[in-house]
């Protein structure tokens, strides 16, 4: 047991914890074995990534007693160099960002020690001075927006029209549910908190009539169906998905035949910008339709394909892969237009977008990034006073040790994907940056274990991406979040998340808003609570 617990501790897996009643809980050996198996070949880095926080850190302690020469590089290009012994000072002219750093001891044949250096701002981006103490935004579940022109499911043109209403209403922006890509061939699996991919968008939000290549409702033969979809009391996800898929296919076919160079050039630019992530997402969409079942039951060569195999698939199924990339290009263009309009109207926030805490284990992100997402486990919560059996959320999470080895690039990529068309984002279950409760597949919720995450480095990445994209970060810090974590989040400029129903004094009366914490988003309710 001691050896097993020690091996788990090396990876940040905690073998015991105090539950909601203060009772010490010991994680079963079988859980530790399954989690170690799920982590695979993950090992703690020889040297953990270094965090340099401007305005807060004077020098970084190093595990070297002898002099070392160091070299800082980005994308293979040297940024800075120097020498260090015991302590490292980062030059003031090094921009914020993530760098590779090599420490080479002096002497013939000496091998360098490699790690990453995060150069972070003192805080995440804060709202520019807007001349008032408080601003407010409309909270919108975009899929439920009704309009005379949409197809029974809210879309990005509805969002654009809402953005244009904000100045007259005095609103600072629009708060949205997650817009993540789901499984468009399983449309009734509609929860945006169990995404196929957090890097890409749900095509049901596309406004087909805003696509230049769409031939029109009448020519598509969809007039009667769209009229029916507009008249339903609730969203008919299956009907909407069928209509939009048919229309998107028609638009793509016309795009492929088109000779408009500007449109073709814009599509190629999007493919280049999204790179390998988009190529893998599109390949996954093709493969999951080909093999039907979950990806870890696919033929062995496709469970973890090589770049060579994916190139061969692109040649074999070029049109089909191109279709899924085309859909994402259209969705990205339409969402981007909404935030561009918000900036043109000088809205203080613009789009405020929600970021789910994890991904569907059988989805594109989990398949595409197996080296950075833990397989065969799900995120959840141990038993507490409200959920005495515990909770299993069916979501996969990042591997903290893999994140460290990659210089946190997968986390930075995720944040940028959310921030690229947003003025603010909400991190669901922000406690997950500090620790997550993970449950092996097949185990009951009370048989899970906590896994520690490198909080300071993850907040450093959040601050870097936030400043780069000028995007406010709000952490959903509800529930059993330690007060000391809220202090750390506030110190990094991560805003708090307040629910008015819970903001009460000791006698049960409601607090006045002037008593709320500063730098916080206040909301009447949340998606986890009953409707009012």
Mean pLDDT of 383-409: 91
The answer to whether the Cα torsion of 355, 360, 363, 367 is positive or negative is: positive
- pLDDT (average), residues 52-71: 91
Q: What's the pLDDT score for residue 6?
A: 87
The pLDDT value given to residue 45: 62
4-18, pLDDT tens digit by residue?
888 899 899 999 988
Please give the share of the chain, as a percent, with pLDDT higher than 70: 98
Predicted structure pTM score: 0.94
Whether the per-residue pLDDT at 42 is higher than 70: the answer is: no
Highest-scoring range by mean pLDDT, 99-113, 400-414, 517-531: 400-414
Confidence of residue 1 (pLDDT cuts 50, 70, 90): low
Q: Where are the alpha helices (DSSP H) in 304-383?
A: 307-316, 318-344, 364-368
Phi, psi of 267 (to 5 degrees): -65, -45
Q: What is the pLDDT of residues 212-227, one digit of tens each?
A: 999 999 999 999 999 9
With 90 as the cut, is the pLDDT of residue 526 above it?
no
pLDDT at 409: 96
Distance, in Å, from the CA atom of 526 to the CA atom of 23, rounded to the nearest integer, reads: 30
Q: What is the pLDDT of residues 277-302, one digit of tens each?
A: 999 999 999 999 999 899 999 999 99
- Residue 44 pLDDT exceeds 60: no
% the chain with pLDDT above 90: 81
pLDDT digits (tens, 9 = 90+) for 158-201: 999 999 999 999 999 999 999 999 999 999 999 999 999 999 99
Rounded distance between C-alpha atoms, residue 131 and residue 519, angstroms: 15
322 φ/ψ angles, rounded to the nearest 5 degrees:
-60, -35
Cβ-contact 392, 33 below 8 angstroms: no
Separation between Cα atoms, residue 213 and residue 146, nearest integer Å: 25
- The H-or-E segment that residue 410 falls in is helix 409-419
What residues contact 467, with CB distance under 8 A and at least 6 apart?
96, 121, 124, 125
Full strand arrangement of the beta sheet holding 77-84: 50-53, 113-120, 97-105, 68-74, 77-84
- Over its C-alpha atoms, the chain yields an Rg (Å, rounded) of 24
Q: How confident is the model at residue 129 (pLDDT cuts 50, 70, 90)?
A: confident
In this model, does residue 157 exceed pLDDT 70?
Answer: yes
User: Cβ(282)–Cβ(325) under 8 Å?
Assistant: yes
Residues 82-93, mean pLDDT to the nearest whole number: 92
Strands 113-120 and 77-84: unpaired
Are 196 and 396 spatial neighbours (Cβ–Cβ below 8 Å)? no
Q: Rounded distance, CA 292 to CA 161, Å?
A: 39
Rounded mean pLDDT of the chain?
Answer: 93
């Amino acid at each position: 047991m001691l050896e097993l617990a020690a091996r788990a501790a090396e990876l940040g897996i905690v073998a015991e914890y105090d539950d909601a009643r203060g009772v010490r809980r010991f994680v079963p050996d079988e859980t530790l074995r399954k989690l170690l198996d799920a982590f695979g070949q993950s090992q703690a880095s020889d040297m953990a990534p270094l965090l340099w926080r401007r305005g807060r850190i004077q020098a970084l302690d190093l595990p070297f007693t002898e002099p070392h020469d160091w070299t800082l590089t980005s994308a293979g290009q040297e940024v800075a160099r120097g020498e260090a012994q015991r302590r490292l000072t980062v030059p003031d002219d090094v921009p914020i960002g993530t760098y590779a750093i090599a420490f080479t001891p002096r002497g013939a044949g000496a091998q360098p020690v490699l790690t990453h250096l995060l150069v972070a701002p003192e805080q995440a981006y804060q709202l520019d001075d807007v001349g008032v103490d408080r601003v407010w935004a409309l909270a919108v579940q975009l899929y439920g927006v009704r309009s005379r022109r949409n197809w029974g499911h809210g879309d990005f043109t509805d969002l654009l029209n809402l953005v244009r209403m904000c100045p007259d209403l005095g609103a600072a922006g629009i708060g949205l549910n997650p817009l993540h890509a789901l499984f468009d061939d399983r449309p009734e699996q509609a929860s945006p908190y169990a995404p196929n991919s957090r890097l890409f968008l749900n095509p049901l939000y596309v406004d087909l009539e805003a696509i230049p290549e769409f031939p029109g409702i009448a020519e598509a033969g969809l007039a009667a169906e769209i009229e029916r979809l507009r008249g339903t009391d609730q969203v008919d996800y299956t009907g909407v998905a069928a209509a939009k898929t048919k229309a998107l296919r028609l638009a793509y076919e016309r795009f492929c035949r088109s000779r408009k160079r500007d449109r073709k050039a814009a599509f190629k630019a999007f493919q280049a910008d999204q790179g390998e992530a988009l190529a893998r997402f599109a390949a996954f969409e093709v493969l999951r339709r080909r093999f039907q079942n979950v990806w870890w039951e696919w033929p062995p060569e496709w469970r973890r394909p090589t770049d060579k195999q994916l190139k061969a698939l692109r040649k074999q199924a070029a049109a089909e892969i191109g279709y899924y990339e085309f859909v994402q290009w259209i969705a990205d263009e339409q969402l981007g237009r909404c935030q561009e309009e918000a900036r043109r109207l000088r809205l203080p926030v613009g789009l405020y977008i929600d970021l789910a805490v994890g991904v569907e284990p059988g989805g594109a992100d989990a398949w595409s990034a197996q080296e950075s997402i833990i397989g065969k486990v799900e995120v959840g919560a141990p038993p507490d006073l409200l959920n005495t059996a515990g909770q299993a959320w069916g979501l996969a999470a990042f591997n903290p040790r893999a994140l460290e080895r990659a210089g946190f690039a997968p986390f930075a990529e995720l944040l940028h994907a959310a921030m690229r068309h947003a003025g603010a984002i909400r991190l669901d279950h922000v406690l997950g940056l500090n620790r997550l409760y993970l449950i092996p597949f097949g185990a009951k919720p009370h048989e899970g274990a906590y896994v520690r995450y490198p909080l300071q480095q993850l907040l450093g990445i959040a601050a870097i991406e936030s400043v780069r994209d000028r995007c406010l970060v709000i952490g959903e810090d509800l529930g059993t979040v330690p007060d000391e974590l809220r202090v750390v989040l506030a110190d990094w400029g991560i805003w708090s998340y307040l629910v008015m129903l819970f903001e009460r004094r000791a006698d049960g009366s409601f607090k006045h808003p002037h008593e709320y914490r500063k730098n916080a988003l206040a909301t009447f309710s949340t998606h986890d609570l009953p409707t009012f």
